[in-house]
């Protein structure tokens, strides 16, 4: 591809991404990269920002956790969580969670607890409807969470603590659970008649037959704004560079 064509492609891609970010953000929650990297899976951590004007009653795109354990023949542990915003006002956000442990049942694994950052800071938490496994909702006063996370405000757990537990106390391979919890805080936007809250990191603590692991969650975005534009353009540039390199190698390999 000629340089002018590449520049034109980047401009078009940038325009499309900008339109997606600006247009969609006005109608739905937003997902942004927050600059952190977390978990044994070493993924870029994200924030989800909810707005009371358009997100109450909304079921968000799933958050996933995936990690291959090298010491267990690259066994994949995998989970998925889906949040539904039940309520959001100046003092409280209520979320329903549907969580799945998608790991093959032939491999023993268990999701023991979930950790989440809240901004503005959470001041309290309650479990409105307990799950069959997740029956504890806790404030995490230190902010520390197993696996090196530093800004986890709350945790939801199958044990009465934020850290690990016995493998049989969590959500086992192939199982699902559903629960609802509320977080208290000052979520009102100053001078406005709506509320906003940001959830972040989405850490999960796992116990498995091959050891324990903490994974960062990856929310599948309705729209990624901010650094997502740069990442999209960067990805496009890498793909174009790879194509040029492949074309060059073919030309060099062609006999004359």
- Going along the chain from its start, the domains and CATH numbers come out as 1-28+225-249 (no CATH), 30-222 (2.60.40.1170)
Q: Is 253 helix (H, G, I), strand (E, B) or coil?
A: helix
**Which letter, b or e, does each residue of 172-198 get, where b requires 16 or more Cβ atoms within 10 Å of its Cβ?**
bbebebbbbbbbebebbeeeeeebbbb
pLDDT value at 1 more than 70: no
- Least confident range from 70-74, 135-139, 147-151, 243-247: namely 243-247
Q: What is the pLDDT of residues 209-231, one digit of tens each?
A: 999 999 999 997 655 544 344 34
pLDDT at 178 over 50: yes
Is the separation of the CB atoms in 11 and 237 below 8 Å?
A: no
What's the whole-number mean pLDDT along residues 52-74? Answer: 96
pLDDT class for 6, splitting at 50, 70, 90? very low
Report pTM.
Answer: 0.77
């Amino acid at each position: 591809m000629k340089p002018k064509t590449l520049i034109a492609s980047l401009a078009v891609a940038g325009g499309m991404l900008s339109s997606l970010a600006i247009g969609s953000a006005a109608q739905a929650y937003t997902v942004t990269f927050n600059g952190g990297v977390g978990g044994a899976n070493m993924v870029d951590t994200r924030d989800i920002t909810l707005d009371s004007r358009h997100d109450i009653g909304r079921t968000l795109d799933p958050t996933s956790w995936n990690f291959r354990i090298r010491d267990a023949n690259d066994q994949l542990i995998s989970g998925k969580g889906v949040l539904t915003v039940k309520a959001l006002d100046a003092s409280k956000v209520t979320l329903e969670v549907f969580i799945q442990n998608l790991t093959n049942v032939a491999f023993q694994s268990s999701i023991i607890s979930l950790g989440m950052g809240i901004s503005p800071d959470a001041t309290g938490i309650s479990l409105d409807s307990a799950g069959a496994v997740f029956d504890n909702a806790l404030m995490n006063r230190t902010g520390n969470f197993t696996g090196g996370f530093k800004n986890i405000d709350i945790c939801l757990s199958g044990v009465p603590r934020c850290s690990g537990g016995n493998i049989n106390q969590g959500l086992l391979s192939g199982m699902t659970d559903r629960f609802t919890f509320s977080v208290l805080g000052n979520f009102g936007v100053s001078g406005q008649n709506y509320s906003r809250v940001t959830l972040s990191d989405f850490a999960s603590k796992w116990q498995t037959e091959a050891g324990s692991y903490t994974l960062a969650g990856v929310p599948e975005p309705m729209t990624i704004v901010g650094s997502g534009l740069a990442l999209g353009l960067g990805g496009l540039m890498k793909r174009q560079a790879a194509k040029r390199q492949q074309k060059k190698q073919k030309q060099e390999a062609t006999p004359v």
